[in-house]
Every structure is written in structure tokens, then in C-alpha cells.
Structure 1
Amino acid sequence: MKFETTNKERRLIMKFNLQSSAVQQTVNHEGAKAFVMNPAMQLYTAIVTWSLNDSFYEKNHQRLHRIHTLVSQTDPLFVAKLAVYARQKMYMRSAPLVLLTELAKVHSGDNLVARATRKVIARADEITEMLACYQLLNRRSGIKKLNRLSKQLQKGLSDAFNNFDEYQFAKYNRSDAAIKLRDALFLVHPKAKDEAQQAVFNKIAANKLDTPFTWETELSALGQLSFPDETTKRQAFKNKWEELIDSGKLGYMALLRNLRNFLEMEISHPHLQKVCATLASAEKVAKAKQFPFRYLAAYREIAQMAAQLPGPTDGSGYVGQVLDTLEKAVMQSAASVRGFDENTKVLLACDVSGSMQVPVSPNSKILLYDIGLMLAMLLQSRCKNVRIGMFGDTWKTISVPHNNILANVQEFYRREGEVGYATNGYLVIKDLLDRRILMDKVMLFTDCQLWNSQNGTQHIHSLWIRYKRKVAPDAKLYLFDLKGYGQSPVQLIQDDVYLLAGWSDKIFAILDAMENGRQALAEINAIEF
């Protein structure tokens, strides 16, 4: 269903677009000069850089409170569009639910929340997750308390029930969840679109959904069996993995996550080739919509396995092929990045400071500065005339090949200690100014908590102004905000300073919009309601 925008809503967007992005001066978490963004810009950066994980400078409850405040200060239409954008373009799941819950608290009188909810709910389990989020953020306990659910949220969830079939409901029907599909069904009272859908609803109500065929259920069933010895058990699991690969029912993410299992179980080379062909397929990569850092996590897992288990019978002989496949896959994910030609001089600077060395989620081994490195290497692979480097206490450039995105990240990861762990991003601009190096695009991948650890007076804001005046009057500065604390180290009201935020390769669609004269939030505002 297409979201139509009313004339009134269009006028609100136009009014919003005229607001300055960062005007009021403040200080960041390091006590350095910074500039406050307007509420909409703050909300955008906070949402697309949030994994519901405590950050270096901010705890989850603090960000929840900040989002609650920002939603109340921001145009409701923009909030709704941001929720849809975060789910559909940035592949986020929890943050859009928080946005909708907060929007439902402050907005009523039309069907905006219902329309946005229909767009955000992309998986069957998100129906119950939406209810759990609403319950938590409204401080309600027990299913009965949810009877006072927002009417428009209820309408959106009711409509969302008709987007899924029995297999999808059964796949995500968690018996240990606080709010189950059956609870949600009785709470939102969906109206079936046809008799077949009503039959599915009846099965949900009776707790009689058919057990779905998934790789998890298949392996779980096999694990319940008794085997005479470990060799027989290992062979059974190897056969099961090969059977699952042949079935075509292993999804892209499942293949990516189980690469180590495939190698350790020594699946046949023809089966491994099937896996590699799927992972490297341009069509499959585009459809899978993976965060780029997922490929990095898989790459590190395989490299680690090879280091820990050297030997002729552990599948390590195929490690090189698998690593090459992951490089091909991530190159496919970079194919949509427009990049810059040989006439455009680009500098990419990665923040590897201490505040960037926090996990992106509680169970992840990927750190925030890995995200910056991944995004920088994706862009580097698409630029013809590019330099790349990292900053901490000091700043240095490092030369790496164009086509080895994941290996390049690993090279920077190995060398990050060479520059220390402060956040002296000003040194990037100072170096360009001191050596009078002409650049067209200067891009910093950072949490934007930049300062001068030498207690000096030099600041990136004043240095950029001097660089523009003395060396490169047409240069543009891009800040890739990876944590969304709501501040910028440089004023964004200048037409040569831009801020982007997010962890997905889709962030480069906003970069492309900026290059064509559109604002940072143009991609969000372009979503049709």
C-alpha cells in the first residue's frame, strides 16, 4: 500500500526543511566545543546509530529519554517516515518500534500511526515485539494492561496480521515469549482477508500451528537422537547440513552464520561451492539486505578458525575460497555506492579512539570503529582518487588496495594502536592546511566527540574555516556520525559541511542525495505516505 502525503503534511515537510541543522553552541562529552542539531536531526542520528546497547558516553535509559523528548518536539509525519526509513532502508528492527511507541503517545486524530505501523512490521514476530515495546515504554505489566493499547497502533498491527502465512507465523512463534502470537491475536482482533487466512488465525488461537521446516528445527530434532559414537554423530550432522543446502531452504543469513560449521563438518566441496555461489551472487546479496559488518564478522570467524585448527582434516583447506567469497559478497554490496571519479580528490579519515571501541550490541564482537572502517572501505573501493587514514592521538594515512574491503579493514584493525586512542580529529584538517593539500571531499567516520587532547586552542571548526579560505574554497566536509549523541563538532548551517548517520551501506544514498543538492534528510522525507 502506497502512503499518500496530504497537502498539509507536505507543507509541514517544507517548513521542516527550512530549519537550520546545527546553530546553538554547546560542549560535547569530552568538554570540547560542539553545536546542537535541531530536534529532527538529533532524532535521525540517534535512531539510525542505536542498537539498544549502552554506548561509551550514554546509557540506554538516557537515550530512551532523549528520544521520548525529541519525538514530542518533532513533526509527527517526519517521525513516522523515520520509523519506516529505519526499518526498510537501514534494516533496523528495535529502534523503529520505539519510535512508533513514542509517536503513539503524543499523536492522535488521524491514521498516521496505523499507516506507519503497517510499513514497519516486516516479520511476524515484530507484531509481538511491538506490543512488548509498547508495554515496556508505557510501564504496563501483564497482557490485560495492554487493553488500553493505542487505537491506531492496534489498527496497524491488525492489518499487519494479514501480511504473513502459517509458515511465517509458526517460524517466529516463541513459546517462551512474554507476549505470544495468540495474545496478540486476541488483543488486536485482525480481520482475515480470506477463508485461508482465517484458518491460520484459528490455528494461532488454538495453539495448533504446524511445526515449520527450518534449519534450527531440523538440527534440533537430530540432536535429540542417540548415536553409538562421535564419528557416527558427526557424519549424521554433515549429511544433514548437506541435505539442508540441497533443499534451498537455508536463507542467506543462515549460510553466512554457519560458514564455520560447514568447514568444521567438512561438507563436500560441491556443497561448499553451492554455498559460495549463493553468498557471492549479486541478486542474493541485494535481496539479503545485510549490514556490511555481517560480512566482516563472518570473515573474522573463518580466519580465526583457520588459525586455531590447523590440520589436514578440519576443512581449513577451503578457507581461502570462503574468504574470497566473502570479499566478493561485500564487493557486491558496495556496487550500489556511487563513489567519485578520478577528478575528485577524496580523503577518508577513520576514528579509532577509545570511545569507538565499544560493541555494537551486547553479544557482538563487532566494535563501533569496525563500522567506521567498513563504511570507509566500502566507499574507498568505489573512488578513483582517494586517500584513507585513521586518527586518535595522531593522524596518519595508510595505503591499501581498492578491491580487498574486508582484508583492508583487518589491516587497519591490526594497526589502530599506532595512532593512540584520543579523538583528535582536528589533526586531519590541520595536516591538510599545514601542507596545503587540495581535497574536494573530506570525510570523517566518527562518533563526533572530537576534541584536542593536547589542551590546545586548535579546533576542527576554526581549522576547517581556515582551510576553506586559504587552500580549498570548494572543499566539502562530511561527518559520518556513528553514534548519534546529538552534537556536531562543526556548524552544519554552512553549505560545505554535512552530517550523515547510520551503519548500513544505504547511508551512501544520503551522500548521493547531498551531492545532488538535497538535504541530509531528503531520503527520509521522500518516503511516500
Structure 2
Amino acid sequence: MSRFNTRSTRPAVHSPVTTIGERTVTHEGATAHLRDAKSELFLLSVSNFVGQDAFYEKGGDRDDRYTQLVRKLAIEDPEWTAGLLSWLRGEGNMRTAALVGAAEFTAERLLQEAPGYSRQVIDSVLQRPDEPGEMLGYWTSKYGRKLPKPVKRGIADAVQRLYNGKSLLKYDTASKGYRFGDILNLVHAAPDPAKPWQGELFQYALDRRHNPDSALPPESNRTLTAHRFLMQVPVAERRAVVEGADGPRRLAEAGMTWEALAGWLQGPMDKAAWEALIPSMGVMALARNLRNFDEAGVSDEVAAQICTRFADPEQVAKSRMFPFRWWAAYKHAPSLRWAHAIERALSHSLVNVPRLSGRTLILVDRSPSMFPGYHFSTPNSSDIPLAEQAAVFGSALALRAEQPTLVEFGGSSKEIEVPKGGSVLRLIEQYGQDDGTDIPTAIKRHFDLLHHDRIVIVTDEQTRPGWLPSNMERFGGMRETAIDDLVPQTVPVYMWNMAGYKPGAMPSGTAGRHTFGGLTDHAFRMVPLLEAGRDANWPWEPKAA
């Protein structure tokens, strides 16, 4: 009789978030599992909005844990950590965590006199023109005004990439502690040889910082010149400029933002002002201002232009908006005229969510720790709590799965009907809130070995113990149970960690148990790989063969 060479034999596969065989307890008292340092840092970094409290962890403690992990791995494996930080600011779209991580990475390597990596890491995380100033603000507030060479050179490299006329108008404002001119003085950035206009731009940034009354923009820069002419228009005539046929063109050429336009007009943002500015606004700015558009009475024709942009997958990808931001746009917009376009945009932002074949049990955590009101349930200043972010992923997965069982759970649980061809937005509206977090009991109630090929759990992992009857008196007639007691190793369980806490609810990394994390859909790409019998690497590393 064949014991190993059977049709049911599957290759062992590995995923990167790995437990180390040591036990701890969750914040709700269940037996939990510790991960290696790389796994802990990854899950924390993809959910860490620096300085924000989480339900079970104060912001300061959370930031200290993040810093210690970065500094440890900056020495133990600088190549891996550099890859993480670069990816975190890029595809991971986590701005502050990447910036702080790069600074602490550099500080530790300077302390240990370890050469290399630091300049490149600093440069890689500065992706927006205001971020060189953010890096300087963080570094000098923590380590003083003396700037080490890797910090100077990394910032100077980023300045060459990022500084242009439009970025100067938008980000070089009096509210900043470090103006563009200050940064140029401190890091001694030279103009990019491939950008002959940058020398004049740098000089203008210095002049407007130190001699603002006499500073004149270079005539070679069309954006700065157009902005200067616009600012010279008398206040009484400015609204006529906006309402004119060439108003949208003039505002766009002058790099006018919606934040600056009201100040320039010295009056309210009415229908004409919004309609003149909308053609030059970015997708993220449009999504954030839908309520303002409705309140100002923006026409249906202009609204249709906005909806066309939301429906464009390239523009949605370029916006780099988290999927839950589209839910926020839908939630806060008074009018339903945006709904279909937002649904399409949300779908584009979830393009990596797989269409899972067979039968999938999807458990979405709706416990108090996933909601605001008890402390801060989300390491995120947004008013969209982790529970709703989890619902975005769970709903998208359910609507694309061949045979889904969608369950919301806390201390109790219930199934949510998944309509064929339904709307993610409408499905999210069906969720409620529950008391407590009990993953094992939700599995016991809803998992059926004959009817489910896999389980996906979207949660913060901080479960209560599950209990099973026992004849052992020392357990009082009950014993704690865990996911592995309830689900055979042949059935894969995918844990989607939303909060980055240290204790994990199950082992992970192999044997059908895998943990992912983050606020984007990118990690979902690992599921088809693992089910095809292929190992899954860290997202910034080459795909496994």
C-alpha cells in the first residue's frame, strides 16, 4: 500500500512570516505564538501609523518596539531591512513608518560604525517633495542638528529627484520648519546634471527663503512664472479669472491646489471655483472632496468627468490610495451619483485579490478592539476603523470566491449572505459589531471539513481561548483549544493580521498555516502561489521558482 505517493500528497510550502516555536499569550489570554524578528517587524511596519495608539498597545510602546526591531535588523541583516524599508514606502505605501525606519536604520549603523546601505536607504524612502524636510525634522529632533554624511547625501539624492517648480509651490510654505532653501543649505544638494533648469530653481528656493521680498522666479520655469502672474491679479478680479473660459487652464499652469485656491480668492470655494480646479486635481484629492463638490452644487457633467477618472485603473493605481480610502469616500459622500464609480475604483484597488476556486470560509473580526471608542482601535488617524478595513478585504474576497462562506465574528458569530455579482460597498454595509474576540469558537461553529477547502481570517489575532470538553479534572472539565485542534493541516488557514501585535494566534510559515499583513491587497498574491505548491517570498524579493 502506498503511504506517500498518493493523489492527495501536496508539496510542503513556506511563507515568509514565520513563528519560532516559542509560546506567549494573546492580549485576551489565549495561548499564542512568537514570530522571528523579521516577521514581527514586517507585520508591525505594514500597519504602523507612527505615534498612534492601538487598542492593546500605546503609541510610544509600539514605536519603541518598531525602532528596536529596525535597529537590530539593520546590523543583523541590512540587505533585508533595506529592502523592507524601500518596499514599505513604495508598494506598501506607508510613509511615516518608512521614514522613521530609515532614520533609525542609519543611526544604528553609524553607532556600530557599519559602512554602506544608509545613504541608499534614506534616498529610497523619500518619495514626495516634502519628505526631505520630514526626514530632517525627525533626525534633528532626535539626534541634533549635526547631520552625518549618509543622511546629507541620501537627502541630497532625493532632492535632485523631487524638486521642481510645482513641488516648490505646493510644499515650500511658511508653515514648514525646514523650507526648501534650508534643506539645500544643510545638505548641499547640487542640481541634477540631467536637469539644467534645476540650478535656477534651487537659487530661487534659496532667495525666497532668505530674501522673500525681492525673490523672482526664473523665467525658464513656466509653472513658477504663471503662478507669479496669477498672484499679481487684483483680488477683486480673481473670481472673474476662475469663471472665465480659460480659468481651468490658468489654474493648472500655475500649479494651484485646492488648499491654496480659497486663500487666493479670499472667499468661499463655490461651484465655479471647484469646477475650474477639478480638471487639474489628483484622484486622491477628488475622492476626499466629494462632499464639498455636492455641497457646492458641482454639475452632473463635471461629476461625470470625475467618475470617468475613478473608473480608470491606471489613474487609481497611480493614486496609491488604500482600498479602505475608497470605502471612506463612499461613506462620506452625500450623493449616490458617485457610488458606481467608487465601486469600480475600489475594485481596481483590489486587483490582487484572487478568485479562489472551491469552498472558502472567510472570517472577519468585528470585535471591540477593531473599532474606535474604547481607546484607539486602529493605529491610524483615519475615522475608518480596522473593522471596516477588514470588511473591505473580506467582502472583496467573498465576492470573488467560487463558493464563499462569509462570517462576521467577535464573541459570537453569524453568516452574511454573499450575492452573486454583488457590490463590495453594499456588502460592507451589512456588517455589525460584536463583543469579544473568539476565533476558535467561530471556526468550530462555521468550519466544515467536507465543505471548506481553506479558511481566511481577517483580524488583529488577539483572540480569547477557545474551549473544548475534557475529562481531565485539572482543566475543570474543559481544555483550551486552538486553530490546529480544529482544522487539519491539509486545510490551509490564512491569517490576515490587521494590527501588527506581537502575539500570533497560530503557528505560521509552513504546514498549511500562513500569516499576511498590511493595508493593501498585495499580499493576497501569495495565496495562489502557496496553493500551487510554490514557496512565497517577501514581497520585495524575487518570486520563488
TM-score w.r.t. structure 2 length?
A: 0.80
Q: How far off its partner does 1:474 sit? A: 2.3
Task: Indicate if the aligned counterparts of 2:460 and 2:498 stay in contact, CA closer than 8 A.
Answer: yes
Q: Report the 3-state secondary structure (helix = DSSP H, G, I; strand = E; otherwise coil) of the residue aligned with 2:41.
A: helix
Q: How far off its partner does 1:514 sit? A: 3.7
**Partner in structure 1 of residue 270 of structure 2:** 237
Change (3 A) 1:37 1:54: same
1:213 aligns with 2:250: no
Q: How far off its partner does 1:332 sit? A: 2.2
**Partner in structure 2 of residue 276 of structure 1:** 307
Q: How far off its partner does 1:502 sit? A: 0.5
1:440 aligns with 2:453: yes
Question: Aligned partners of 2:54, 2:182: CA distance in 1, in Å?
Answer: 34
Q: Report the 3-state secondary structure (helix = DSSP H, G, I; strand = E; otherwise coil) of the residue aligned with 2:394.
A: helix
1:354 aligns with 2:368: yes
Q: How far off its partner does 1:69 sit? A: 1.9
Q: Report the 3-state secondary structure (helix = DSSP H, G, I; strand = E; otherwise coil) of the residue aligned with 2:465.
A: coil
**Partner in structure 2 of residue 128 of structure 1:** 133
Question: Aligned partners of 2:502, 2:64: CA distance in 1, in Å?
Answer: 13
**Partner in structure 2 of residue 190 of structure 1:** 189
Question: Aligned partners of 1:190, 1:512: CA distance in 2, in Å?
Answer: 46
Task: Indicate if the aligned counterparts of 2:523 and 2:539 stay in contact, CA closer than 8 A.
Answer: no
Larger-Rg structure: 2
**Partner in structure 2 of residue 113 of structure 1:** 118
Question: Aligned partners of 2:443, 2:153: CA distance in 1, in Å?
Answer: 52
Question: Aligned partners of 1:363, 1:467: CA distance in 2, in Å?
Answer: 36
- 1:393 maps to amino acid: G
1:298 aligns with 2:312: no
Question: Aligned partners of 1:520, 1:153: CA distance in 2, in Å?
Answer: 34
**Partner in structure 1 of residue 106 of structure 2:** 104
- Give deviations 1:315-349, integer Å, cap 9, x for gaps: xxxx23211221121122223433213xx211110
Structure 2: runs of 5 or more not aligned: 1-13, 209-214, 218-223, 228-254, 470-477
Question: Aligned partners of 2:535, 2:363: CA distance in 1, in Å?
Answer: 22
Change (3 A) 1:46 1:335: closer
1:162 aligns with 2:160: yes
**Partner in structure 2 of residue 340 of structure 1:** 356
**Partner in structure 2 of residue 500 of structure 1:** 516
- Give deviations 1:421-441, integer Å, cap 9, x for gaps: 1110111321256x5443222
Change (3 A) 1:280 1:333: same
Partner residue of 2:91 out of 89, 94, 116: 89
Q: How far off its partner does 1:388 sit? A: 0.7
1:464 aligns with 2:464: no
**Partner in structure 1 of residue 11 of structure 2:** none
Partner residue of 2:403 out of 385, 388, 398: 385
1:394 aligns with 2:412: yes
Task: Indicate if the aligned counterparts of 1:460 and 1:490 stay in contact, CA closer than 8 A.
Answer: no
- 1:269 maps to amino acid: D
Q: How far off its partner does 1:34 sit? A: 0.4
Task: Indicate if the aligned counterparts of 1:23 and 1:492 stay in contact, CA closer than 8 A.
Answer: no
| Structure with more helix by fraction | 1
Question: Aligned partners of 1:361, 1:203: CA distance in 2, in Å?
Answer: 39
**Partner in structure 2 of residue 451 of structure 1:** 464
Change (3 A) 1:397 1:362: closer
Q: How far off its partner does 1:260 sit? A: 1.2
Task: Indicate if the aligned counterparts of 1:498 and 1:520 stay in contact, CA closer than 8 A.
Answer: no
Aligned residue runs from structure 1 range 165-176, under 5 A? 165-176=164-175
Task: Indicate if the aligned counterparts of 2:466 and 2:480 stay in contact, CA closer than 8 A.
Answer: no
**Partner in structure 1 of residue 291 of structure 2:** 260
1:509 aligns with 2:520: no
Does 485-494 or 422-431 show the bigger shift?
485-494
Task: Indicate if the aligned counterparts of 2:399 and 2:418 stay in contact, CA closer than 8 A.
Answer: no
**Partner in structure 1 of residue 382 of structure 2:** 364
- 2:123 maps to amino acid: R
**Partner in structure 2 of residue 310 of structure 1:** none
- Give deviations 1:68-127, integer Å, cap 9, x for gaps: 221233222121111111111121110001110111122254431222222221111011
- 1:31 maps to amino acid: G
Task: Indicate if the aligned counterparts of 1:293 and 1:370 stay in contact, CA closer than 8 A.
Answer: yes
Task: Indicate if the aligned counterparts of 2:343 and 2:424 stay in contact, CA closer than 8 A.
Answer: yes
Question: Aligned partners of 2:311, 2:520: CA distance in 1, in Å?
Answer: 18
1:431 aligns with 2:431: no
Q: Report the 3-state secondary structure (helix = DSSP H, G, I; strand = E; otherwise coil) of the residue aligned with 1:411.
A: coil
Q: How far off its partner does 1:61 sit? A: 1.1
- Give deviations 1:138-175, integer Å, cap 9, x for gaps: x34xxxx322x232222111111111212113211231
Q: Report the 3-state secondary structure (helix = DSSP H, G, I; strand = E; otherwise coil) of the residue aligned with 2:123.
A: helix
Q: How far off its partner does 1:479 sit? A: 0.6
**Partner in structure 2 of residue 36 of structure 1:** 34
Question: Aligned partners of 2:427, 2:135: CA distance in 1, in Å?
Answer: 39
Task: Indicate if the aligned counterparts of 1:285 and 1:333 stay in contact, CA closer than 8 A.
Answer: yes
Change (3 A) 1:485 1:518: farther
Task: Indicate if the aligned counterparts of 1:34 and 1:489 stay in contact, CA closer than 8 A.
Answer: yes
Partner residue of 1:374 out of 377, 380, 392: 392
Question: Aligned partners of 1:146, 1:66: CA distance in 2, in Å?
Answer: 25
Partner residue of 1:250 out of 258, 278, 281: 281
Q: Report the 3-state secondary structure (helix = DSSP H, G, I; strand = E; otherwise coil) of the residue aligned with 1:146.
A: coil
Question: Aligned partners of 2:15, 2:321: CA distance in 1, in Å?
Answer: 31
TM-score w.r.t. structure 1 length?
A: 0.82
Question: Aligned partners of 1:42, 1:221: CA distance in 2, in Å?
Answer: 48
Does 478-487 or 395-404 show the bigger shift?
395-404
**Partner in structure 1 of residue 81 of structure 2:** 79
**Partner in structure 1 of residue 501 of structure 2:** 485
Question: Aligned partners of 2:148, 2:526: CA distance in 1, in Å?
Answer: 33
Does 449-458 or 50-59 show the bigger shift?
449-458
Change (3 A) 1:133 1:83: same
Q: How far off its partner does 1:350 sit? A: 0.6
Instruction: Kindly tell me the number of residue pairs found equivalent between the two proteins.
Output: 465
Q: Report the 3-state secondary structure (helix = DSSP H, G, I; strand = E; otherwise coil) of the residue aligned with 1:381.
A: helix
**Partner in structure 1 of residue 64 of structure 2:** 65
- Give deviations 1:181-219, integer Å, cap 9, x for gaps: 222211111121133111111111112564542222223
Partner residue of 2:316 out of 281, 285, 301: 285
Q: How far off its partner does 1:455 sit? A: 10
Structure 1: runs of 5 or more not aligned: 1-15, 226-232, 306-318
Partner residue of 1:330 out of 318, 336, 346: 346
Question: Aligned partners of 1:166, 1:429: CA distance in 2, in Å?
Answer: 56
Change (3 A) 1:514 1:134: farther
Aligned Cα root-mean-square deviation (Å):
2.5
Task: Indicate if the aligned counterparts of 1:451 and 1:459 stay in contact, CA closer than 8 A.
Answer: no
Change (3 A) 1:162 1:182: same
